[in-house]
């Protein structure tokens, strides 16, 4: 009887978390409107978007990823009590895929609880045949940031409390947006492209950062830049070489036992930004591996990372006015 009661309690305790993963976006917004994204002309008939479910029990826990994205879009998750703060969230996937649930929706729900409006970007992938392939993720991130800040998507968002958060390869994209926010990566299309794309703050989760040296994530680099990029190109996309003194305040977290994207990626970014006087905070956890997001951090010291990010946002004036 006591065992049955325990099993019932465990099932009940796990149910809200599992059900929360079935939440659908409050809205979906194509960032380029009805137009074809720059450099993707003619691809829609050859590149078909697909969403793959990896979870053996999707009725309980979803674990989806998207490929073949030609219609980049924002998945909007609004909190019950919005406070005006917002995050552009960039999931990872090694620039081979864009994960949806593990580093996307689950994180969005956690930040919604704190009143933060979250916009998950399903961005184009660089190795799928787009023109200017290296910059298509940045084009989408710049456009998304401008669209959100313009107020067209949600007029309640404070344009001075709009940050970016990226995981793994999405962390590289978030770092690129934070160092190349003013790069002319595409031809301006409308008044939205006159809106600044610089994030007000940046959060990098176990980011792919280095494009050369012993700690580079070779799969992400090759899919981003192809084989044999020259030194100038490597420096442009390396988050350490690209560090600049007018970048936004920075928060990083990483697990020391990450075997996919070594900890030195975050250590190097932290040191480079700190040397330039950028307010920066770094948290290193003894264990957690790579790609822990929300779900796989449970029960480990690393599970406190959302609380640490929110506390840092509050101290910086980014959480509430």
In a domain, 153, yes or no: yes
pLDDT per residue as tens digits for the range 29-69:
999 999 999 999 999 889 999 999 999 999 888 999 999 99
Domain total of the chain:
1
Q: Inform me whether the pLDDT recorded for 1 exceeds 90.
A: no
For residue 15, tell me if it sits in a domain.
Answer: no
Q: What is the mean pLDDT of residues 141-157?
A: 97
- Residue 22 is predicted with a pLDDT of 64
Structure tokens at 186: 């595409």
pTM score, two decimals? 0.93
- 123, pLDDT greater than 50: yes
Give the phi and the psi of residue 280 in degrees, each rounded to 5.
-140, 145
pLDDT of residue 14: 37
Per-residue pLDDT at 45: 85
Quote the tokens at residue 199: 């994030």
Q: What average pLDDT score do residues 308-318 get?
A: 98
DSSP calls for 289-304: -S--TTGGGTTSGGGG
Q: Are strands 73-77 and 27-30 parallel, antiparallel or unpaired?
A: antiparallel
Residue 183 domain-assigned (yes or no): yes
**Residue 254 domain flag:** yes
Are 132 and 121 spatial neighbours (Cβ–Cβ below 8 Å)? no
Number of H-type helices and E-type strands within the chain: 8, 11
Q: What is the percent of the chain where pLDDT is above 90?
A: 87
Tell me the C-alpha distance between 123 and 38, whole Å: 12
The chain-wide mean pLDDT, for the chain, equals 92
Domain contains 8: no
Q: What is the pLDDT of residue 39?
A: 94
Does 295 map to a domain?
Answer: yes
Please give the residue range of the domain that contains residue 244.
Answer: 26-315
Do the domain assignments include residue 5? no
Output the domain CATH number for residue 123: 3.40.50.1820
Q: Which of 75, 77, 83 is nearest to 109 (CA)?
A: 77
- CB count within 10 Å of CB 295 equals 18
Residue 2 inside a domain? The answer is: no
Q: How confident is the model at residue 87 (pLDDT cuts 50, 70, 90)?
A: very high
Summarize the confidence of residues 120-140 as an average pLDDT: 97
Give pLDDT tens digits for 196-244.
Answer: 999 999 999 999 999 999 999 999 999 999 988 999 999 999 999 999 9
């Amino acid at each position: 009887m006591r065992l049955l009661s325990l099993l019932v309690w465990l099932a009940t305790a796990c149910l809200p978390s599992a059900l929360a993963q079935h939440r659908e976006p409050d809205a979906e917004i194509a960032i380029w409107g009805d137009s074809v994204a720059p450099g993707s002309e003619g691809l829609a008939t050859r590149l078909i978007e697909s969403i793959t479910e990896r979870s053996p029990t999707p009725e309980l826990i979803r674990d989806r990823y998207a490929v073949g994205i030609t219609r980049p879009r924002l998945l909007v998750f609004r909190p019950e009590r919005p406070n005006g703060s917002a995050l552009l969230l960039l999931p990872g996937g090694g620039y081979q895929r864009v994960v949806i649930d593990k580093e996307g929706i689950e994180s969005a729900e956690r930040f919604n609880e704190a009143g933060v409006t979250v916009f998950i970007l399903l961005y184009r992938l660089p190795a799928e045949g787009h023109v200017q392939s290296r910059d298509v993720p940045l084009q989408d991130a710049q456009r998304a940031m401008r669209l959100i800040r313009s107020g067209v998507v949600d007029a309640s968002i404070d344009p001075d409390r709009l940050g970016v958060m990226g995981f793994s390869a999405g962390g590289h994209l978030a770092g690129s947006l934070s160092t190349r926010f003013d790069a002319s990566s595409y031809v301006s299309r409308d008044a939205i492209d006159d809106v600044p794309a610089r994030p007000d703050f940046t959060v990098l989760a176990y980011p792919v950062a280095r494009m050369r040296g012993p700690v580079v994530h070779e799969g992400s680099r090759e899919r981003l830049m192809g084989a044999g990029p020259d030194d100038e190109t490597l420096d442009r996309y390396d988050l350490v070489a690209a560090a600049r003194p007018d970048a936004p305040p920075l928060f990083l977290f990483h697990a020391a036992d990450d075997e996919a994207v070594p900890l030195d990626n975050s250590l190097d970014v932290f040191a480079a930004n700190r040397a330039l006087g950028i307010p920066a905070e770094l948290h290193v956890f003894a264990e957690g591996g790579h790609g822990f997001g929300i779900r796989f951090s449970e029960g480990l010291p690393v599970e406190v990372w959302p609380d640490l990010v929110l506390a840092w946002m509050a101290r910086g004036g980014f959480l509430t006015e």
